[in-house]
Amino acid sequence: MEKRRGDSETQPKSALAAPVVAPAATLPAGNNPPPSLTVHLANAVSGPPSDQRFFWTKIREGTTRISFSYYEDFINDLFCANPKYFEGLELQELDQVQRKSQRLGSHVAGVAAYQLLRTATEAFLLMHCGALMDSNSFFGANLVPDPVKRRGIVARELDEERRRLGEESLNVGGIIDGLNRYLGASRLGTLTVLPYFENVIKTSFSRRDLGAKHPLCEGILDSRVSAESAPCMLELIWSYWHEEGMLVQSLNMIALRFQNRIDPSGRNPLTALNLDPLRPLSNLLWGYVQDEYNRLTIQRRAYEYDNHYGLTLYGKAVQTLQSADSRTRFIEAFHQLLHRAGKFYLQDDDTTVRADAFPVLQALKEVHLLLAQGAHNQFGDLPWTARVEMLIQKWLLGRPEIGQFLNSRPMVPYTEGWMAPVDSIKKMFGWNDTSVSQFRDLGVFGEQLLLSARYGNWLEINDPTLAAEWARYWRPEVQSYVHSYRAATGADLTMAPVSTVPPGMLLRDRPGVRQPAT
C-alpha cells in the first residue's frame, strides 16, 4: 500500500483507519439535550479587603447595643427579673443604682423612682458605649444576663457580619484581630487611637496635651480618644429623627393631661386619661414632670441640630433660630453621598462594567469634613443627654398602662413597644400620618452612616477601592434610609438633582399635617 502524505512512519495501519469517537459519557443519549454550561460573572475586586471594615462592624454592633430593645431588657433585668445577674460588674453608676433601688423598695413617693430610672439609663449607656477592642462586650456578650439569649444574639449578629463581609468562618476573635490591625499603626504615646483622632491630635494639639486622667486636669482626656473606651457610638441625628417622629411631643401631651391641662391649641383628645396610683406609672410621670427643669429644652436641641447638620425643627414651639454657626451645606452633601452610592450600586450590579467609586469617595470626604466642623462646644454632652432623655421617654410610652388607655392597633407589627402609642397620639392630634417606624429607621440608619463617615480618616484616603468597600458594606443602610426618607418627606433621593430642602420643611408642607403646639 502506498504511503499517503502526512501519515506517521511509526503509526500502525489499524490506527490510521479508526474513526475518532467522543467518550460515551459525553454523547447525548436518545433525544436528551447535551449538558449545559453555566457562565458566572462576578464584580471586579481590586486588591484584598481592608481592615477598616471591622471598624464598621463595631459601629453596627455598638449602635445595636444601645438600642431600645437592649435598654428595655436591661431595665427589666436590673429591677424586675434577677438583679444578681449584674453582681460583679465594676461600674460606679450601676452600684449607685442598686443601692438606691434597695432603699426605695416598693414605697414609691416623690421623684425618687424617676431619678433612679434616669441614673439606671445613664449606667446603661456607660456600659454599652465605646470599648473598641473589648472582645467580651461584642454583641452584648457580657451584658445579656440570660446565657441562652446571649448565645442566640451573638450567633445572629455574627451570621449577619459573615454575609456582609463574605467570610463564612468569621468569629469574634477575627473581628478583634482585624480591629487591632486597623488600629495598630495609630498610636500616640501609650494610647491606641482611631486614625482620625491621631490625625487631629498631630495637626491641632501638642503631645504635651495628652494624658489627662480626670476632667479637672488639663490636657486631652484619655477616655475621649483611647480605643479602649472611645468613641461612644452616638450621633445626634438619631435624636433629630425621633423628634420629627413626634416621640417627645407625644409624651409632652400625656404630661400635660397628667397635670390636668389641655393642648394650648384647645384640643383635648386625652380627656379620658386616668392613671391609677396602684401601679407605678403615675409616680414615674410625676417625677418626669417635676424634673422638667433638668431636661433639655426643644430650643437647646434645635440649635444643636442646626450646628451639627443644618437641620431645623418647624413648629409653634420653635421660634426662628438665630444660630451662630450652621452646617448649611450638610444636607446637600449627605444627600449627594446617598445619591452617588445609589448610582454606584446600579453600576456594581452590572457585572459587565467596572463600577466607579471615586464620586462616592469625594462625597464621603465632603460629609466627613462638614461633620468635623460641627463637632465642637456641646458635641461631647448634648447628644448623650438627648439620648438618655429619649430612651426614658420611649420606656414610659411603652408601659402597659399607656397602651391600654390609647387602645392602639394591635395588628400592626411594630418592632418596639413605644411605637404604637406614638402613632395613636399622632392620629388623635392630627400630626403627620407617616408611621413613626419610618422615623425610627431614619434615626438608626442615619446614625450608623454618619458614624462611619465621621470617624473614618477619609481625608487621608485617595483610593476609591475603600469607598467601594464602604458602599457595599453599608448598602442595606443606605437603601433603607433613602426609602424611609421618601416615605416620611416625599423626596426621592435617587432622583437628580437631589433634594436640598430641609426635611423639617418638607414634613411641615405635606398635605394634612398639623404642627404640635408644644
Angle made by CA atoms 377, 236, 466, in degrees to the nearest 5: 100
pLDDT at 411 over 90: no
* Secondary element (H or E) of residue 188: strand 187-188
pLDDT at 14 over 50: no
Q: What is the pLDDT of residue 12?
A: 44
Identify the weakest region by mean pLDDT among 39-43, 105-109, 370-374: 105-109
How far is residue 501's CA from residue 489's CA, in Å, rounded to a whole number?
10
- Specify the amino acid at residue 145: P
Instruction: Indicate the average pLDDT of the chain.
Output: 82
Q: What is the pLDDT of residue 68?
A: 94
pLDDT at 32 over 90: no
Is residue 430 very low, low, confident or very high in pLDDT (cuts 50, 70, 90)? confident
Percentage, residues of the chain above pLDDT 90:
42
User: How buried is residue 227: exposed, middle or buried, by Cβ count under 10 Å (0-12/13-18/19+)?
Assistant: buried
Q: What is the pLDDT of residue 16?
A: 41
Average pLDDT over residues 316-343: 92
Alpha-helix runs per DSSP H in 109-171: 112-128, 147-165
pLDDT at 26 over 60: no
Phi-psi label, residue 246: left if phi above 0, alpha if psi -120 to 50, beta otherwise = left
Q: What is the pLDDT of residue 393?
A: 97
Identify the weakest region by mean pLDDT among 11-20, 24-33, 191-200, 392-401: 11-20
- State pLDDT tens for residues 255-305: 999 999 987 777 788 888 888 888 889 989 999 999 999 999 999 999 999
Alpha-helix runs per DSSP H in 129-216: 147-165, 172-184, 195-204
pLDDT at 170 over 90: no
Q: Cβ(360)–Cβ(451) under 8 Å?
A: no
Average pLDDT over residues 166-173: 82
Q: What is the pLDDT of residue 146?
A: 62
Q: How many other C-beta atoms lie within 10 A of the C-beta of residue 74?
A: 24
pLDDT at 4 over 50: no
pLDDT at 191 over 80: no
pLDDT at 205 over 60: yes
Average pLDDT over residues 133-157: 62
How far is residue 450's CA from residue 19's CA, in Å, rounded to a whole number?
71
Angle made by CA atoms 88, 89, 95, in degrees to the nearest 5: 95
Is the CA virtual torsion 208, 370, 59, 183 positive or negative? negative
pLDDT at 321 over 90: no
Nearest of 371, 383, 243, 369 to residue 308 by alpha carbon: 371
Residue 46 or 263, more confident: 263
Is residue 207 very low, low, confident or very high in pLDDT (cuts 50, 70, 90)? low
- State pLDDT tens for residues 83-137: 555 555 555 566 666 666 666 655 566 788 898 899 889 988 888 876 565 555 5
